[in-house]
């Protein structure tokens, strides 16, 4: 019968309970809305501010109206912890959403992470309507902007770009969407995926036409250590939009968010492709003479292997191919043994008559 060690069992039980709590905590910070208003969890989990409202019988959210200086945002009500309490490990997260912007030069749309004390009801003339105070007193925030207006004040690349903003509206990484044959304010639905990997400390942004598969290669990728920004402080997540002096409208058709708690013992940290590229040694061009010598050595080695193989085949054939079958000992033929008394001599009668 197997013996159970009580301390070991308690350790395993404690680990399982903590793991289940971790999974439960991750699920409580996850949501998925493919439609709005009809979902029973929408009103309890999502808050609308400014001009944001549910339209189309719950099929979409309209963030801005077709008038100038319109702004609206949608926020997840529950503050999120990106740092695990006991272990202090960062958690990964993924979000994706489907949106549409009308053909005009408004500020566009931004996915934002702001401190838990952010006053979501306040709007101003800042990009995307975000009231983040002056540059010196601005709270630490992260935004992924889908910008349809070129603003020289913030060094915008053009009026059709995606950028990553960290603590300021001057993007630390930006990409021209036109290079991927897409227009942000074309009036067509687009779909974006934003992933943060805690292991590699990288933020990745992907974008495609609505209905297409998630692209393998990110549109933007930026190294970012969120643990240095907020430590163990809670953050709020949301989507915010404003149209400035234009009449641009912005609609949201779906929104999903998920925290991913992955135990460290399950896998190693993901590789940082750029760091790996930096460590890679430069390729050395070999001389032609070296190549010829290597080819010659390979040919000699191959010939030697072939000769050795042929010799082994012939040797084995000589041993096993010429062997004659031997009758087993138990099947050998023995001479017959007869008792003398059982032998009868038959003499021909004619022979007997001749003798007589």
Tens of pLDDT, residue by residue over 236-287, are 999 999 998 999 999 999 999 999 875 554 444 444 555 545 555 554 555 5
**pLDDT confidence of residue 332:** 52
Residue-range domains of the chain with CATH: 9-271 (2.60.120.200)
- Residue 72 has a CB neighbour count (10 Å cut-off) of 24
**pLDDT confidence of residue 127:** 82
123 or 223: whose pLDDT is higher?
A: 223
**pLDDT confidence of residue 14:** 44
**pLDDT confidence of residue 16:** 45
Q: Would you say 221 and 204 are in contact if contact means Cβ atoms under 8 Å apart?
A: yes
pLDDT digits (tens, 9 = 90+) for 164-207: 999 888 999 999 999 999 999 999 999 999 999 998 999 999 99
Question: Alpha carbon of 160 to those of 4, 180, 201: distances in Å?
Answer: 65, 11, 27
109-123 average pLDDT score:
83
**pLDDT confidence of residue 159:** 92
Q: Would you say 37 and 56 are in contact if contact means Cβ atoms under 8 Å apart?
A: no
100 or 299: whose pLDDT is higher?
A: 100
- pLDDT tops 60 at residue 70: yes
- pLDDT tops 70 at residue 119: yes
**pLDDT confidence of residue 148:** 94
- pLDDT tops 50 at residue 126: yes
Give the pLDDT band (50/70/90) at residue 323: low
**pLDDT confidence of residue 58:** 87
pTM for this prediction: 0.67
189 or 116: whose pLDDT is higher?
A: 189
130 or 25: whose pLDDT is higher?
A: 130
Q: What percent of the chain has pLDDT over 70?
A: 69
- pLDDT tops 50 at residue 23: no
**pLDDT confidence of residue 192:** 98
Locus of tokens 């945002």 = 73
Return mean pLDDT, the chain: 78
Residue 164, strand partner residues: 144, 173
């Amino acid at each position: 019968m197997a013996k159970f060690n009580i301390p070991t069992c308690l350790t395993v039980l404690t680990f399982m309970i903590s793991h289940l709590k971790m999974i439960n905590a991750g699920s409580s910070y996850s949501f998925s809305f493919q439609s709005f208003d009809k979902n029973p969890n929408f009103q309890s989990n999502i808050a609308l501010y400014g001009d944001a409202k549910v339209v189309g019988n719950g099929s979409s959210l309209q963030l801005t109206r077709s008038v100038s200086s319109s702004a609206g945002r949608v926020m997840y009500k529950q503050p999120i912890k990106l740092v695990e309490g006991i272990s202090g490990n960062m958690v990964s997260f993924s979000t994706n959403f489907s949106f549409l912007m009308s053909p005009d030069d408004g500020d566009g749309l931004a996915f934002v992470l702001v401190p838990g004390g952010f006053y979501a009801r306040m709007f101003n003339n800042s990009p995307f309507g975000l009231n983040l105070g002056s540059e010196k007193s601005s709270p630490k925030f992260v935004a992924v902007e889908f910008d349809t207006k070129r603003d020289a004040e913030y060094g915008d690349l053009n009026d059709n770009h995606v950028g990553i903003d960290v603590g300021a509206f001057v993007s630390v990484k930006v990409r021209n969407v036109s290079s991927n044959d897409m227009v942000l304010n074309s009036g067509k639905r687009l779909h974006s995926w934003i992933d943060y990997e805690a292991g590699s400390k990288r933020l990745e942004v992907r974008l495609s036409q609505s209905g297409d598969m998630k692209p393998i290669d990110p549109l933007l990728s930026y190294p970012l250590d969120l643990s240095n920004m907020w430590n163990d402080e809670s953050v709020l997540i949301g989507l915010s939009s404003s149209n400035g002096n234009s009449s641009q409208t912005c609609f949201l058709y779906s929104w999903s968010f998920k925290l991913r708690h992955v135990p460290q013992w399950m896998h190693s940290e993901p590789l940082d492709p750029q760091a790996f590229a930096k460590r890679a040694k430069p390729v050395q061009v070999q001389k032609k003479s070296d190549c010829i010598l290597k080819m010659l050595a390979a040919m000699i080695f191959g010939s030697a292997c072939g000769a050795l193989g042929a010799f082994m085949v012939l040797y084995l054939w000589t041993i096993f191919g010429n062997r004659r079958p031997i009758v087993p000992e138990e099947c050998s033929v023995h001479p017959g043994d007869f008792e003398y008394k059982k032998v009868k001599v038959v003499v021909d009668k004619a022979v007997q008559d001749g003798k007589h």
